[in-house]
């Protein structure tokens, strides 16, 4: 039996975050190897924007979305129920295909906002990011497009003739690109369309070829998360070294260095041995953020009060030994006999002077570079990490989406904590008739306050778009005026 191809075109309203939303999604499901006439699912779902919705004018303009056209869309609960139902594989070898997988992570954000499990990246054993595939083919294959910026541009360059202003047709464009690449670059597509277990298996490391924002990179893996989904590595793009976190859920390129044959190295002007040597000899102290490095130095020197914030706490735990002594008083400040070069300076300035020449234990330095921070975590992991013990049972109860189980909505949903504010927004958007007038008033006041915080930046964003659009592009100008009126 042929596997099913699930093509998903999300319409995000802002950059991915836990508060992100989608305006809708196009979904096309079709058995592999047949024409579009035999599609088993072909659907465009639109979601209305609630009062609390986080929206970027640039995202609306870029995707040709008139926000006023969404007022008759589904509620987020209706949308997520339908989308979640459609994006479930029928068999283990079904494939999820999209363009720029990170935008599909907004689906997870909306799922969390509406109390759905599990996340979309855990559902499919096979996933392909066509943007990554095109970037890989541009370097190593036969399909060498000069620009790989957005779905519409790529589809036109590969001969797609459908109406790309129609959001549903854009799912057809994904099918066109996927079919093209399988015909012209079958080996690359076979490698990228790997099962989840192979995608997470990095035992043949620590060096891999990776593509970051279209640039060829060689990476050296420092650590992999316990669930294997995240990788912390040093990235070498041929010009500079930096630390990078790679989410393997997003189906990135992680190829063995052998893909860089001598011929390809010459063509791409990328000397594998030289760049690997740079990674081997990398000084981790040069790659860490300044604040984190200073925190490690303070921990090594025993200057506890000079270390602030979570990074410093992590550094203190990581630093196991000090190789330089700094005079300090019992309360953590510098003693009365401090050198002249720290007299009259602030605590931070004085600490920096005292930290000159402090050597950090190599193991502590490695642990700090290899550690994962909150900003690295996938949305579900970050969300549940932040939940209080008493909030998790509430989340699990709300997963039933049965409002009758809630005897007092204002006790669960209110503006006083982050979790309670999420519940308040969920109730008022999806079950407005169940909310008392006073509860509705509190919600609307909350939304006004949230909007007022963003009003200035929204207006600046709109003005920036007006300044950059060609006045002769009347269609975009009309849409941008509609977007500005919405705000």
Please indicate whether residue 341 or residue 70 has the higher confidence score (pLDDT): 70
CA dihedral 302, 306, 312, 317 (to 10 degrees): 20
Predicted pLDDT of residue 305: 46
Q: Is the pLDDT of residue 105 over 80?
A: yes
DSSP reduced 3-state for 327: coil
Under the banding of pLDDT at 50, 70 and 90, the label for residue 407 is confident
Count of residues making up the chain: 487
**pLDDT tier at 312 (50, 70, 90 boundaries)?**
very low
Supply 60's token pair: 């609306």
The pLDDT confidence band at residue 324, using thresholds 50, 70 and 90, is very low
Give pLDDT, residue 275.
96
Q: Which two tokens stand for residue 342?
A: 């720290």
Quick one: what percent of the chain has pLDDT higher than 90? 76
State the average pLDDT over residues 454-477: 92
Q: Which of 60-74, 316-330, 455-469 has the lowest mean pLDDT?
A: 316-330
Q: What is residue 2's predicted lDDT score, i.e. its pLDDT?
A: 84
The pLDDT of residue 333 is 44
Q: 3-class DSSP state for residue 311?
A: helix
Q: What's the pLDDT at 110?
A: 96
pLDDT of residue 259: 95
* DSSP codes of every residue in 256-273: -GGGS-HHHHHHHT--HH
What three-state secondary structure class fits 217? Answer: strand
Cβ neighbours, 10 Å, residue 102: 16
Average pLDDT over the chain, rounded to whole? 89
Report yes or no: 129 and 99 within 8 Å, Cβ to Cβ. yes
126, pLDDT greater than 70: yes
The model's confidence at residue 341, banded by pLDDT at 50, 70 and 90, is low
pLDDT tens-digit readout, 418-459? 999 999 999 999 999 999 999 999 999 999 999 999 999 999
The pLDDT value given to residue 445: 96
């Amino acid at each position: 039996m042929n596997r099913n191809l699930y093509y998903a075109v999300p319409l995000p309203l802002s950059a991915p975050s836990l508060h992100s939303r989608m305006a809708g999604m196009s979904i096309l499901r079709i058995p592999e190897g047949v024409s579009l006439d035999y599609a088993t699912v072909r659907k465009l779902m639109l979601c209305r924007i609630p009062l609390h919705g986080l929206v970027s004018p640039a995202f609306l303009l870029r995707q040709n979305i008139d926000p006023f056209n969404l007022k008759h869309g589904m509620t987020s609960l209706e949308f997520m129920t339908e989308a979640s139902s459609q994006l479930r594989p029928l068999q283990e070898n079904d494939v999820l295909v999209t363009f720029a997988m990170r935008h599909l992570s907004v689906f997870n954000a909306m799922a969390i906002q509406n109390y759905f499990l599990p996340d979309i990246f855990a559902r499919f054993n096979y996933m392909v990011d066509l943007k990554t595939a095109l970037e890989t083919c541009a370097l190593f294959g036969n399909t060498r497009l000069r620009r790989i910026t957005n779905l519409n541009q790529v589809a036109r360059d590969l001969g797609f003739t459908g109406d790309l202003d129609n959001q549903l047709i854009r799912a057809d464009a994904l099918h066109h690109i996927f079919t093209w690449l399988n015909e012209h670059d079958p080996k690359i597509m076979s490698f990228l369309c790997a099962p989840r277990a192979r995608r997470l298996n990095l035992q043949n490391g620590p060096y891999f070829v990776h593509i970051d924002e279209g640039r060829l990179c060689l990476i050296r893996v420092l650590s992999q998360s316990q669930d294997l989904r995240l990788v912390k590595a040093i990235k070498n793009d041929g010009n500079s070294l930096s630390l990078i976190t790679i989410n393997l859920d997003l189906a990135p390129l992680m190829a063995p260095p052998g893909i860089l044959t001598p011929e390809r190295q010459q063509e791409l002007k990328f000397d594998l041995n030289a760049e690997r040597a740079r990674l081997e000899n990398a000084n981790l102290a040069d790659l860490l953020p300044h604040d984190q490095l200073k925190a490690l130095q303070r921990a090594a020197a025993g200057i506890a009060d000079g270390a602030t914030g979570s990074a410093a706490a992590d550094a203190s735990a990581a630093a196991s030994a000090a190789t330089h002594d700094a005079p300090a008083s019992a309360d953590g400040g510098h003693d009365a006999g401090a050198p002249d070069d720290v007299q009259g300076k602030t605590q931070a300035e004085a600490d920096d002077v005292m930290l000159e020449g402090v050597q950090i234990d190599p193991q502590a330095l490695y642990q700090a570079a290899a550690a994962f921070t909150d900003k690295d975590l996938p949305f579900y992991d970050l969300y549940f990490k932040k939940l209080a013990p008493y909030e998790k049972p509430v989340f699990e109860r709300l997963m039933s989406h049965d409002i009758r189980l809630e005897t007092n909505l204002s006790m669960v949903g209110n503006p006083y904590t982050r979790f309670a504010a999420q519940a308040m927004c969920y109730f008022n958007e999806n079950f407005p008739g169940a909310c008392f007038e006073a509860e509705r008033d509190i919600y609307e006041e909350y939304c006004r306050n949230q909007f007022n915080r963003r009003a200035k930046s929204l207006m600046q964003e709109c003005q920036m778009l007006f300044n950059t659009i060609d006045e002769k592009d009347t269609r975009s100008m009309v849409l941008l005026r509609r977007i500005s009126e919405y705000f």
